[in-house]
Amino acid sequence: MDEDDDLVRIASPDLKVAINPLGAELWSLRDAAGTEYMTDADPAFWTGHAPLLFPIVGALAGDTLRVDGREYMLPKHGFARRSQFAALETGPANARFRLTDSPDTRAVFPFGFVLELAFSVEDFTLVVEASVFNPNDRPLPFSFGFHPAFAWPLPGGADKAAHRIVFERDEPQDVRRITKGTGLLLPQGEATPVKGRELALRSALFEADALIWTDLASRKLSYGADGGAWIDLAFPDSPMFGAWQVPGARYICLEPWTGVADPVGFDGDFSDKPGVVTLPPGETARFRLAITVRPA
């Protein structure tokens, strides 16, 4: 059986989108000519495409979630990316998926939740909206993040070394890093490689793992190179951001987040962790990501 048989496909006249119900993960973004703008998922580097990070972003110290004095084992980035979502809607240009809590999720995350992902495509833009509903009679603490991996270089013939990220606003603040091995957020920052609004991309930036912005000023950015294709991202609900690749790979991950890894030394209750969203009972939180392709 072809591994693509289970993909859900939606399209506009300009853009063809494929989504894997396993993780409700965006797998492919092609223009009308069939040109791919996402990762090649080469297993020599990383096989992900655009995993969803829920109910945590990054790693917990010792993979341990602490809630009300009890401890639960929850691995890096949580369980949504490896969970089978139910397909609620699969129209020509729209698709919607749902994941709810189960005995398996409650064994590692002791809360009820309803996580839905809605995908819609129009012209050259794909909109992904995640919604988290709290069915509990107490607040629901969680983090959420997008993790899309785009081709680097993008199609269109521009050199890999010419690619850059152009942020909506100047980003002069220090960037953060994580510890090697344990993946925890280091307390100290380092001088940003962003010059004004622009980050010139090179693989050496990621030899110490991801670049992390814990208080990003921008809610939009563009990625590409003069003479080639560009991708515009808008993420109005995500105040944090990560950029990452395995050095030398043919992708770049551009990741809007609402949470980060445990800071080094943090051993408190999950609800007190920096970056955690606290959702009141009966309420819904929404996180939007719009991806616009500009072919060369």
Note whether residue 102 is domain-resident: yes
Note whether residue 114 is domain-resident: yes
Strands (E), 123-229: 125-133, 140-142, 145-146, 149-151, 164-167, 198-200, 211-213, 220-224
Helix (H) or strand (E) holding 287: strand 284-294
User: What does the pLDDT look like over 49-82, one tens digit per residue?
Assistant: 999 999 999 999 999 999 999 999 999 999 999 9
Bridge partners of 254, per DSSP, are 243
Question: Mean pLDDT of successive 10-residue segments in the chain (296 residues)?
Answer: 75 98 98 97 97 98 97 98 97 98 98 98 98 98 98 96 98 97 96 98 97 98 97 98 96 98 97 96 98 97
Asked if residue 65 lies in contact with residue 71, where contact means CB atoms within 8 angstroms, the answer is yes
- Could you tell me the residue range of the domain that residue 276 belongs to? 8-294
Give the amino acid at 261: A
Give the Cα separation of 179 and 24 in Å (integer): 29
User: What does the pLDDT look like over 197-228, one tens digit per residue?
Assistant: 999 999 999 999 999 999 999 999 999 999 99
Note whether residue 3 is domain-resident: no
Tell whether the torsion through CA atoms of 259, 262, 265 and 269 is positive or negative: positive
pLDDT for residue 3? 52
Which among 153, 152, 252, 170 is positioned nearest to 211, based on CA atoms?
252
Residue 277: CA atoms inside 13 Å, Cβ hemisphere, count?
27
Note whether residue 127 is domain-resident: yes
Number of structural domains the chain divides into = 1
Query: 89: which 2 tokens?
Result: 């809607």
Residue 151 belongs to domain with CATH number = 2.70.98.10
Note whether residue 131 is domain-resident: yes
pLDDT for residue 5? 78
Note whether residue 2 is domain-resident: no
Give SS3 for 205. helix
Note whether residue 82 is domain-resident: yes
Which among 143, 156, 151, 155 is positioned nearest to 115, based on CA atoms?
143
pLDDT for residue 1? 31
Give the Cα separation of 70 and 92 in Å (integer): 46
DSSP string for 240-252: EEEEE--TT-SEE
Helix (H) or strand (E) holding 106: helix 103-106
Note whether residue 98 is domain-resident: yes
Count of Cβ atoms closer than 10 Å to residue 28 Cβ:
19
Residues 6+ apart with CB under 8 A from 170: 194, 196, 197, 217
Asked if residue 53 lies in contact with residue 254, where contact means CB atoms within 8 angstroms, the answer is no
